[in-house]
Amino acid sequence: MIDLHTHSLFSDGELIPAELARRFEVAGYRALAITDHGDSSNLEPIIRQLVAFCEEFNRLGGIKVIPGIELTHVPPATIPELVNRSRDLGTKLVLVHGESIVEPVHPGTNKVAIEASVDILAHPGLITEDLVLLAKEHSVFLELTSRKGHSLTNGHVARLAQRIGAPLLLNSDAHAPGDIWPAKRLLEIVQGAGLTEGDFQKMMKNAGQIVERCLTSGR
Per-position pLDDT tens, the chain of length 219:
999 999 999 999 999 999 999 999 999 999 999 999 999 999 999 999 999 999 999 999 999 999 999 999 999 999 999 999 999 999 999 999 999 999 999 999 999 999 999 999 999 999 999 999 999 999 999 999 999 999 999 999 999 999 999 999 999 999 999 999 999 999 999 999 999 999 999 999 999 999 999 998 755
Write phi, then psi, for 26 (nearest 5 degrees): -65, -30
* Chain centroid offset of residue 89 CA: 18
- Predicted pLDDT of residue 217: 74
Where along the chain do its domains lie? 2-216
- The hierarchical CATH code for the domain 2-216 is 3.20.20.140
Sort 139 into a burial class: Cβ within 10 Å, 0-12 / 13-18 / 19+: exposed
Integer Rg of the chain from CA:
16
CA 156 to chain centre: 18
Helix-helix angle 79-88:43-58, to 10 degrees: 40
Helices (H) and strands (E) in the chain, counts: 8, 7
| pLDDT reported for residue 219 | 53
Instruction: Tell me how far CA of residue 69 lies from CA of 12, 39, 118, in angstroms.
Output: 13, 9, 11
pTM of the model: 0.96
Task: Determine the straight-line distance between the first and last CA of the chain, rounded to whole angstroms.
Answer: 21
